[in-house]
Amino acid sequence: MTARIAAAAEQIAAARLSHAPLAMLPEEIRPRDEPEAYAVQQAVHARLPDLGSRVGTKIACTTAVMQTYLGVHNPCSAGVFAGGTYLRSTTLSSGGFHRIGVECEIAVRIGHDLDPAQAPFTTDTVAEAITEYMAAIEIVDDRYADWRATDTPTLIADDFFAAGCVLGDPVARRMNARNLIGTTTVNGKEVGRGQGTDVMGDPLNALAWLAGSLALRGEMLRRGDIVLTGSLVETRWLSPGDSASALISGLGEVSLSVE
pLDDT tens across 233-253, in order?
999 999 999 999 999 999 999
Which residue type is seen at 57? Answer: T
| Residues linked to residue 198 through DSSP beta bridges, in sequence order | none
Mean pLDDT is lowest, of 36-40, 122-126, 147-151, 175-179, for 147-151
| C-alpha span between 220 and 212 (Å, rounded) | 8
* Residue 118 clears pLDDT 80, i.e. is over it: yes
Widest Cα–Cα separation across the chain: 49
* Residue 58 clears pLDDT 80, i.e. is over it: yes
What's the mean pLDDT in 49-63? 94
Q: Is 60 helix (H, G, I), strand (E, B) or coil?
A: strand
| Dihedral sign, Cα of residue 70, residue 30, residue 141, residue 209 | positive
**Alpha carbon of residue 84 to chain centroid:** 12
Question: Who's near 224: CB < 8 A, 6+ residues apart?
Answer: 55, 109, 110
What's the mean pLDDT in 141-161? 93
The rounded percent of the chain whose pLDDT value lies above 90 is: 88
* Residue 65 clears pLDDT 90, i.e. is over it: no
Q: Is 216 helix (H, G, I), strand (E, B) or coil?
A: helix
What's the mean pLDDT in 156-179? 94
The H-assigned helical ranges of 120-250 are: 123-129, 152-157, 203-216
- Name the residue ranges covered by the structural domains of the chain: 53-258
What's the mean pLDDT in 181-198? 97
* Residue 192 clears pLDDT 90, i.e. is over it: yes
Q: Mean pLDDT across the chain, nearest whole number?
A: 95
Question: Domain 53-258: which CATH class?
Answer: alpha beta
Give pTM, 2 decimals.
0.95
Task: Note the pLDDT of residue 223.
Answer: 97
Burial class (CB in 10 A: 0-12, 13-18, 19+), 74: exposed
Question: Who's near 25: CB < 8 A, 6+ residues apart?
Answer: 8, 11, 12, 31, 154
Task: Note the pLDDT of residue 63.
Answer: 87
Spell out a b/e string for 216-247, using b for 16 or more CB atoms within 10 Å of the CB, else e.
eeeebbeeebbbbbbbbbbbbebeeebebbbb
Nearest to 256 by CA among 244, 246, 247: 244
Nearest to 230 by CA among 35, 76, 71, 55: 76
